[in-house]
Amino acid sequence: MRSPIYNEALYYVLGTGEDHFPRCWIQKAPWMFFGRWTGFTFAWIIFVKEDRLDVVVHEMVHVRQFNKGYGIGFWVKYLYYLARYGYSKNPYEREAYLVQEWVQERLFNQIKV
């Protein structure tokens, strides 16, 4: 279990436009994952299949959503959105994927941040 490294914090702050990153812990646990699933966040703990910058930043957005949604309220709303809109149109996922795509664009095009 580790804290975010410098690049994860940097890309989170630049990608979201926020002035700080959420406190969280990251655990690599490849055995937890199957299919195309690469990350999962439980409150302040992020589980990832591998150490991928864009995935960690995506999950950090969920930590901030959890903090802003006052814990249980976030999970209730997340499940409600999931049932109503499905996974990819869930507003919480859309927000996280927007930031993840911002990170990917910079990594793949080797744009310095």
Strands (E) across the chain are located at 25-28, 39-42, 45-48
CB of 13 to Zn ion, least distance (A): 19
Instruction: Name the residue nearer to Zn ion (CB basis): 60 or 96.
Output: 96
Check binding of 46 to Zn ion (CB under 5 A): no
| Cβ-contact 91, 83 below 8 angstroms | no
* Positions in 70-109 near Zn ion (CB under 5 A): 93, 96
CB of 86 to Zn ion, least distance (A): 13
From CA 113, how far away is CA 110, in angstroms rounded? 9
Distance of CA 15 to the CA centre of its chain: 11
CB of 58 to Zn ion, least distance (A): 6
Instruction: Name the residue nearer to Zn ion (CB basis): 57 or 96.
Output: 96
